[in-house]
Amino acid sequence: MSTPISTLMNLSGRTALVTGGSRGLGLQIAESLGEAGAKIMLSSRKAADLEEAVAALQAKGIDARWVAGDASNPADAERIVNDTMERLGHIDILVNNAGATWGAPAEDHPLEAWDKVMNLNIRSLFVISQLVAKASMIPRGRGRIINVASIAGLGGNPTEMKTIAYNTSKGAVVNFTRALAGEWGAHGITVNALAPGFFPSKMTKGLLAALGEDKMAAKAPLRRIGDDDDLKGAALLFASDAGKHITGQILAVDGGVSAIHAG
């Protein structure tokens, strides 16, 4: 007999660490996992933002808490993981969402900005994933890692967008996901990535204002950009037993933009 879908997608008894979880896509994913029954640990750099986010989750009946730290700093990353282990006991689900962008023409892009984007968008994923795997997932023989990539990592850029470091880092996230899935499958760990298109967020606010939200929506077959619900189902699939046979995959959640520009 097969397992009921309600059981497969139930995360009761599971724990999730969500980096960059105080707002935007990270908070949306945390909400999804919490609503499915998981205990949530949010992490980002700013304590005030985390307090507000955790209060919002708790108001929905979600068991949530927070730890502040810079995921791109190895000492902070170790503290984040250790604190999560002490307070939750184990980590079943890791959502690598912390990220940054920088807009500048490639010929004038500052090297320090390149390094900042690379450190947060890809180096921190390696550091946190390694720590979590060694502390909890490998010893227990199971785990779910969800990396937040972007459709910007699946191809080039429209000429009006000047985000070479961001695109490069997200392309790295795509192959990091595939490579790690190949290595850690033997430990019962699945590694997948979400590749969002345009969603309203603090990171994309300026870009959407410059390019025009209606114009960007018109580029998608579904004629819209993402909203506060559009990542929740995909994240839950990757985090739950419903996705236990899926690993090394990149799921674009973009209203169809990547489909019509593929190849």
CB 169 within 8 A of CB 195: no
Annotated catalytic residue, options 166, 176, 199, 238:
166
**Mean pLDDT estimate for the chain:** 92
3-state SS, residue 18: strand
pLDDT score recorded for residue 90: 98
pTM of the model as a whole: 0.94
Confidence of residue 261 (pLDDT cuts 50, 70, 90): confident
| Single-letter amino acid code for the residue at 68 | A
Q: Is residue 202 predicted with pLDDT exceeding 80?
A: no
Class assignment of domain 5-255? alpha beta
Residue 125 and residue 122: Cα distance in Å, rounded?
5
Residue 196 is among the residues annotated as catalytic for this protein: no
Give the residue with greater pLDDT, 149 vs 99.
Answer: 149
Q: What is the mean pLDDT of residues 213-237?
A: 90
DSSP 220: S
First to last CA, the chain: 41
CB 193 within 8 A of CB 173: yes
3-state SS, residue 139: helix
Residue 258 and residue 131: Cα distance in Å, rounded?
33
Residue 77 and residue 248: Cα distance in Å, rounded?
24
Per-residue pLDDT tens over the stretch 15-56: 999 999 999 999 999 999 999 999 999 999 999 999 999 999
Per-residue pLDDT tens over the stretch 229-258: 999 999 999 999 999 999 999 999 999 988
Q: Is residue 170 predicted with pLDDT exceeding 90?
A: yes
Asked whether the CA dihedral 39, 20, 258, 119 is positive or negative, the reply is negative
